[in-house]
Chain A
Amino acid sequence: MLRITGGTVFDPANGVDGVVRDICIADGRVVPQVDGGRSIDASGMIVFPGGVDVHTHVAGGALNFARGLVPENQRAARKFLHTPDRRAGLGGMTPTTFATGYLYAGMGWTTVNEAAVPVLSARHTHEELHDIPLVDKTTLVLMANNEIVMDLLEGGEIERAKHVVAWLIWAAKAYGVKGVNPGGVAAWKWGKNANALHEPVEGYKEVTPARIIRDLAAIVDDLKLPHPLHLHCNNLGVPGNAATTVETMNVLEGHRAHLAHLQFHAYGGDDWSTMRSESARVAEAFNTHHNLTTDAGAVLFGDAVTITADGPWQHLLYQLTGRKWGNLDVENETGCGIVPYVYKDRNLVNAVQWAVGLELLLLIEDPWRVFLTTDHPNGACFWRYPEIIQLLMDVEYRKEQVKKLPAEAQKRIVLADLDREYTLSEVAIISSAGPARALGLPRKGHLGPGADADVTIYHGKPDDGRLFTYPRYVIKGGAIVVEDGEVRAVTEGREFVTRPSCDEQIEAYIRPLFPKIYTIAFENYPVEIERLRHVEILPCR
């Protein structure tokens, strides 16, 4: 039992905006009242629900590939020393699993969504997630380039495709559905891409990216999954891609969807030399589409590692940078590409990217629909989120930073004209309450009775953006795990999965396809539920 007394509570999901009140905790949940037990004096401190990351890459084949690809980064990374209750590890751009848990919790984040899991290697992803302590986890399974699904859409068999999708979610023991560059990753297996939303995908006659997007969104809605289709749009990173993004919003009309890392999809211009921000156009379109949520995918200057299932984009990035390139195509399902990258403030393109992420966070009016992410480790590492919060909360500081950009870059962005400053309540929304609601996690992102007792307590002046760097306390599931930015106790996190209902006959359809397409036995494909420790199956809506 635990009582947090005298703190200024920000719990936007329950309409609490900076009210001094006590938070009581028993058996890992928030409760109306407790008698006895420890109490924390939070007078003068700020109490937030634990942070929720709606889009990050922290585990699985692609990230682990990246770790092996950049030992020079790991050498420069922050070291985590082995102690009696903590495992050794490395921070940096691609942190090791245990360090990932320490870093997230150390920042006050207690739930993360691993946003790209192939079914074929989902077993590996879950093994890694188990080794990430302190945070609860959800996973999204990659579906928009799955050839079994695409072949069914080609034949107009949407109902059967729906059952296949449901079967695959449970086979991967995943939580939701992700689409990456629909059709483009499948085309990449022939060295092609899918740039036009309404033109057939390489190797198909009827299937276009737009159809994959619309049909998958409809399927996810039909299956009543807690989280809508999580979409990485076509033409990521390409100058002029704002048109594709706006058109994707039109395609999605009538369905729920989450557009991932919008920063990478809001550029104007015709090529790299004319690239400019189109955040105003994208935000304007987004503001009118109330069926959608998004996350920033913000960029910060410095080192990053780009990791995405978007194989063709990564090939382009390799050709542009001449740096290392990793590529891993996964039979039938997806692909992945990795290129280490440095965002430089003197670089015109990088300066525009930096601005676009912030512009979107400021121009999208409803904080309940846009969330704080860097598409870790693509735009920047997740442990740099406090830097972004500072930029959002302090307009003068932000404008100073804009002035440091090359003059040519300043002409191509609108950030200097934006005076909005985030309030503490809005920060709580974009970092916790909003993403929890979008993920459909009813016990996360708020501090009402029944909520998981994930609480972050900050000590500092509310007008100081740096407030968020070191939480005074982080409470996870009722246990005090972080004090003064240092991990004090290590608990294991849980995994949330869903089990959408599907026609049991669908297995009879998938099984004969298996020896033709795959190189492993059908029986070895689904992840056994026993392999997930601390698992909780959440109901579909």
Chain B
Amino acid sequence: MGGKITCTLGEVKNRADFIVYWGGNPAECHPRHFTKYTLMQKGKFVPEGRKGRTMVLVDIRETPSAKAADIFLQIRPGKDFEVATALRALIKNQPVDKARVAETGLTVERLQDIADRMKRARFGVIFFGMGLSMTRGKHMNSGAILNLTAELNAFTKFVCMPMRGHGNVTGADVVLRWTTGYPFGIDLSRGYPRFNPGEFSTVDLLVRGDNDAALILGADPGATMPQPGIDHLSRIPTIVLDPKVTHTSRLARVHITTAVTGVSAPGTSYRMDEIPLPLRPALQSPYPTDEEVIRRIRLAAAAKSSWKPAPSAMMAIA
């Protein structure tokens, strides 16, 4: 069980005739998604473009994205897991409880229709957003969607993809995986990478007040974290690298202004489908790049004597 059945966005453009957005509002949050990748483009195997595609939106409220949808399923808040699980049952012709489905705000007939359309699709895709992955049920909700997608492949081609955002968050995932083996929530204090979301993830460390310093790069937790976490950031030495003044930079001890990556600093950005794109600066900046600042901090730190025991003693632990 589990896993992830996905593809690059060009596959969606070229092939998808059935597109589900679940728990997201791409019209406002990923405004180029419809036009560049999913709905409006004429694909190699979808030459009729928008007419050749069916779009379903699953959400708890009618957002502006609903206007773009052919089918809008408004479900009750916190019922994503139940809806996804009912769909998993229906595609396998298993019985579902009418009363339980009614609690989600939908009917069995409505879901049966979606299940049938999913199985009839030539190439289906589910994009899921934080309205699914960050509400009640959290990773269980994502798991249900991932399993639904995997199981649909017994009938037709189906893939799914999380709607990643926040700049180059995908790039951070990718690089951390190849350097440490894990995508996030990593602790290096024992000298090797350990992974435990809930224990080592940023929000949990901050809320518990476990860390005694913070270096923040390309993020604004002061705007999004729970208040206890924000309070902790303002208590400890917090260093922010950011081109702009942010909520976090205002509460930080040190704010180092850096060049804007992609505008005045080069680099690589990973798209939500993990395709790396080169960034070529159009302008010059008087400020150093993030990379340069980190490199200089590292060099300065390396010049200090190590607090760790000698390597030979450490290898015995391993």
Partners in one complex: yes
**Interface set of A (CB-CB < 8 Å, partner B):** 59, 61, 64-65, 67-69, 71, 74-75, 77-84, 86-90, 92, 94-98, 120-121, 123-124, 127-128, 131, 147, 189-191, 315, 318-319, 322-332, 335, 338-339, 486, 516-520, 524, 528
Report how far A309 CA is from B141 CA in the complex, Å.
28
- Contact between chains at B193 and A88 (CB < 8 Å): yes
Query: Once the chains are docked, how many angstroms separate the CA of A79 from the CA of B181?
Result: 11
- Select from chain A the residue with minimum beta-carbon distance to B279: A524
Given contacts A82-B191, A84-B311, contact A319 B179 (CB under 8 A): no
B7, A524: Cβ atoms closer than 8 Å: no
Q: Are A98 and B7 in contact (CB under 8 A)?
A: no
Cross-chain contact of B182 among A71, A327, A329, A332 (Cβ < 8 A): A71
**CA distance in complex: A189, B122 (Å):** 10
Known: A82-B188, A326-B3, A328-B6. A318 touches B180 (CB 8 A): no
| Residues in A neighbouring B178, C-beta threshold 8 A | 59, 64, 67, 96-97, 127-128, 131
Verify B182–A121 contact, CB threshold 8 A.
Answer: no
Task: Return A274 CB to nearest CB of chain B, in Å.
Answer: 24
Chain B residues with a Cβ under 8 A of chain A: 1-11, 13-15, 36-37, 44, 122-123, 150, 153-154, 156-157, 159, 173-175, 177-183, 188, 191-195, 268, 270, 274-278, 306, 308, 311, 314-315, 317-318
- Assembly CA distance A88 to B181 (angstroms): 10
Q: What's the least CB distance linking B160 to chain A, in Å?
A: 10
With most chain A CB atoms within 10 A of its CB, the pick from B154, B192, B317 is B192
Q: Are B274 and A127 in contact (CB under 8 A)?
A: no
Partner of B192, one of A61, A67, A80, A94: A80
Given contacts A124-B276, A331-B10, A520-B277, contact A191 B157 (CB under 8 A): yes
CB distance from A302 to the nearest CB of B (A): 19
Q: A326's contact among B4, B182, B308, by CB below 8 Å, is which?
A: B4
> In the complex, are the beta carbons of B10 and A332 less than 8 A apart?
yes
Minimum CB distance partner of A73 in chain B = B181
Residues of chain A with a CB closer than 8 A to B3's CB: 69, 318, 324-327, 338-339
Residue of A78, A96, A147 contacting most chain B CB atoms (<10 Å) = A96
Q: How far is the CA of A362 from the CA of B164 in the complex (A)?
A: 50
Other-chain contact of B179, A61, A97, A315, A329 (Cβ < 8 Å): A97
18 A-B residue pairs with CB within 8 Å: A67-B178, A69-B3, A89-B179, A90-B193, A95-B181, A96-B181, A123-B268, A189-B11, A189-B15, A189-B123, A190-B15, A190-B122, A319-B154, A322-B1, A324-B1, A324-B3, A328-B274, A331-B11
Within the assembled complex, what's the spacing in Å between the Cα atoms of A345 and B4?
A: 29
Residue contact B276 to A121, C-beta cutoff 8 Å: yes
**Known contacts A83-B314, A90-B193, A120-B275; A191/B7 CB under 8 A:** no
B177 close to A87 (CB less than 8 A): no
Pick from A98, A318, A328: contact of B150, CB below 8 A.
Answer: A318
Residues A524 and B192 in contact in the complex (CB < 8 Å), given A84-B306, A98-B179, A328-B7: no
Known: A82-B188, A329-B11. A87 touches B157 (CB 8 A): no
A68, B183: Cβ atoms closer than 8 Å: yes
Chain B residue numbers with a CB within 8 Å of A325 are: 2-3, 5, 150
A74 near B153: Cβ-Cβ < 8 Å: no
Contact between B7 and A330 (Cβ–Cβ < 8 Å)?
yes
Whole-angstrom distance between the alpha carbons of A527 and B262 in the complex? 17
Chain A residues with CB under 8 Å of B13's CB are 331, 519
Q: Is the CB of A131 within 8 A of B181?
A: no
CB pair A519–B192 under 8 Å, yes or no, is no
Given A64-B174, A74-B182, are A326 and B5 neighbors across the interface (CB < 8 Å)?
A: yes
Residues of A near B156 (CB, < 8 A) are 191
Query: A97 — which chain B residues lie within 8 A by C-beta?
Result: 178-179
Q: Please give, as numbers and ranges, the residues of chain B lying within 8 Å of A86 by CB-CB distance.
A: 311
Closest to A94 in B: B181
Q: Which listed residue (A96, A323, A328) contacts B180, Cβ 8 A?
A: A96
On whether the beta carbons of A517 and B1 are closer than 8 Å, the reply is: no
Interchain CA distance A82-B9 in the complex, whole Å: 37
**Contact flag A330-B2 (CB < 8 Å), given A98-B179, A123-B268:** no
Q: Known contacts A67-B178, A327-B4, A329-B159: does B311 contact A519 (CB below 8 Å)?
A: no
**Do the beta carbons of A121 and B275 come within 8 Å of each other?**
yes
Alpha-carbon gap, A50 to B44, bound state (A): 47
Q: In the complex, what residues of B have CB within 8 A of residue A330's CB?
A: 7-8, 11
CA distance A95 to B180 in the complex (A): 9
The 6 A-B pairs with the shortest beta carbon distances in the complex, nearest first, are A331-B10, A329-B7, A83-B311, A325-B3, A324-B3, A81-B191
Q: A68 to B173, Cβ gap below 8 A?
A: yes
Cβ-defined contact, B153 with A315, below 8 A:
yes
A458 → chain B closest CB, angstroms: 22
| Chain A nearest Cβ from B29, distance in angstroms | 19
Partner of A331, one of B14, B173, B180, B270: B14
List A contacts of B154 (CB < 8 A): 319
The docked-state distance in angstroms from the alpha carbon of A517 to that of B179 is: 32
B290 vs chain A, min Cβ distance (A): 16
Q: A81-B315, A121-B274, A190-B157 are in contact. List 13 more A-B contacts (CB 8 A).
A: A82-B192, A92-B181, A96-B181, A97-B178, A123-B276, A190-B123, A191-B153, A315-B153, A322-B1, A329-B6, A331-B8, A517-B14, A519-B13
Complex CA gap A241/B276 in Å reads 37
Cβ contact of B5, chosen from A89, A322, A327, A520, cutoff 8 A: A327
